[in-house]
Amino acid sequence: MTLLKQLSSSATLILFAVWSTRAFSQEKPEEASAERARANFAREIVLAPDDVRAFEDAPNGFMTPRADVPHGKVEELAYESAVTGTRRKANVYLPPGYSPKKKYPVLYLLHGIGGDENEWLNLAAPNVVLDNLIADGKAAAMIIVMPNGRALPDDRAIGDPFTKEKVEGFSKFERDLLDHLIPSVEAKYSTYTDRKHRALAGLSMGGGQTLNFGFNNLDTFAWIGAFSSAPNTKPPAELVPDPAAVRKQLKLIYLSCGNKDGLINFSQDVHRYLNEHDVPHVWNVDDYGHVGETWASNLYHFVQRVFR
């Protein structure tokens, strides 16, 4: 069941009105609840003249497997994490012709609040999107790592995803990613190991994680993509306290959201702050709500702009 269906299946309409008038700021894990999520999704959407598309939707067939192109493969990576005290799983896409004799850049791709390491594969088939783009010369051959971003001993995507503990798991993932996942990926695969060859992107909670972790670790990532970022996104002045450093170090900041997504306020605030501080970025507002179509389409656009 999709998150939105899950949320609309019970009715707490009065809370919508109460919470949607509250001033915007980051939602702390202890504040998270299904009610708050419904209220966040029901926020009034106010579009400014520059809240428009940077790109058309991805073309027909962009995520359809083609018989005429070489295919990469998806395999599982298991890694030990001192953050969770468990052996964790990630899905890894290796591009067509992957060879330990070459070195590859790596995109870390993060899921939403109800997802796990399989969510991107189900929503957007990044392996197919990349096979097609690489064959057309439109994307660099890259490894894509799809981890489970809920860094908890029990990280299963079951039950109410909005509990304090589960939401905290998404913040704890910063250390899991930096101290355990990245070193494991770079030990197992033939990768470059500098910031210019690492990208971080995600949808919704994963978009918030991308902004929170990406801006906080400029020495680790040079390319960031946040699609339909969730209320876990830190307030912009906290995210980017030093605009000059970001301007200098990041090679791409890509923000997107649908113009029918009640969470668009969170992305608009980051976009406007970056504009006020002259930090170049992509801002793509398409015509979707909080749905897989916008994430797949923005993944298509984002991956063409990294590592080149």
Q: List interacting residues with ligand FER (CB under 6 A).
A: 3, 27, 32, 36-37, 40, 112-113, 167, 204-205, 230-232
Closest distance of CB 291 from ligand FER, Å:
10
Compute the C-alpha angle 239/290/156, nearest 5°. Answer: 80
Closest distance of CB 44 from ligand FER, Å:
15
Q: Which three-class secondary structure state does DSSP give residue 249?
A: helix
Sign of the Cα pseudo-torsion (141, 145, 304, 274, in order): negative
Residue closer to ligand FER by CB (options 144, 205) is 205
Closest residue by Cα to residue 146 from 84, 201, 214: 201
Residue closer to ligand FER by CB (options 105, 231) is 231
Residue closer to ligand FER by CB (options 20, 304) is 20
At what angle are helices 205-216 and 264-276 packed, to 10 degrees?
Answer: 30
Half-sphere exposure of 181 (CA within 13 A, CB side): 33
Neighbouring C-beta atoms of residue 286, cutoff 10 Å: 24
Q: Kindly give the pairing relationship between strand 198-203 and strand 106-110.
A: parallel
CA 248 to chain centre: 22
Q: Kindly give the pairing relationship between strand 106-110 and strand 143-147.
A: parallel
Residue closer to ligand FER by CB (options 22, 308) is 22
Residue closer to ligand FER by CB (options 3, 143) is 3
Q: Using an 8 Å Cβ cutoff, are 110 and 171 in contact?
A: no
Residue closer to ligand FER by CB (options 69, 291) is 291
Neighbouring C-beta atoms of residue 181, cutoff 10 Å: 24
